[in-house]
Amino acid sequence: EVQLLESGGGLVQPGGSLRLSCAASGFMFSSYAMNWVRQAPGKGLEWVSVISGSADSTNYADSVRGRFTISRDNSKNTLYLQMNSLRAEDTAVYYCAKAPYSSGCYWIDYWGQGTLVTVSS
C-alpha cells in the first residue's frame, strides 16, 4: 500500500524559512517522480514543484521559483521542500504527491494527507 506522510509544517513569520518532509513507503521510491501540491484555505489546488526519480530534473511553479527548492533522498525514501522568503500567500496545506512515471508531472496517482503551513506575524 502506498503511503505518503508529510511533516514539518507550522507557523512561520513572513520572510522566514521552513523545510517540509515526506516519508514514502509501499513502492519503489527512486523509480517515480514526486510532486508538491498546495491548497490555500478554502481555495483550489496549485501545483508547486516536481522532481524526477533520479533527482536529475526539477521544475517549479512561477509563484515559488527562486524561493523554494525540491529535493529527495532515495536512500531514505524521503522527499523534501525547502521554503525560503515565505510570504502570507504561501499559507496552505502542502501535499506530497506521487507521479506514475519516473519523470514528468503528467498526473498524480497518490496523495499524502498534507501538512499545514501558516505564514503570519
Partner 1 sequence: QSALTQPPSASGSPGQSVTISCTGTSSDVGGYNFVSWYQQHPGKAPKLMIYEVNKRPSGVPDRFSGSKSGNTASLTVSGLQAEDETDYYCSSYAGSNNLLFGGGTKLTVL
CA dist 17 and 21 (Å) reads 14
All cell numbers assigned to 42: 478554502
Q: What's the min distance (Å) between Cβ of 43 and partner 1?
A: 8
| 45 is a contact residue toward partner 1 (CB under 8 A) | yes
Contact pick of 3, 13, 54, 57 for partner 1 (by CB under 8 A):
57
| 104 is a contact residue toward partner 1 (CB under 8 A) | yes
Q: What's the min distance (Å) between Cβ of 116 and partner 1?
A: 11
CA dist 101 and 93 (Å) reads 24
Strand-pairing partners, residue 55, are none
User: In the chain, what's the furthest Cα-to-Cα distance?
Assistant: 40
CA dist 22 and 34 (Å) reads 10
Contact pick of 8, 23, 47, 55 for partner 1 (by CB under 8 A):
47
Give the interface with partner 1 as residue ranges (CB under 8 A): 35, 37, 44-47, 50, 57, 59, 61-62, 95, 100, 104-114
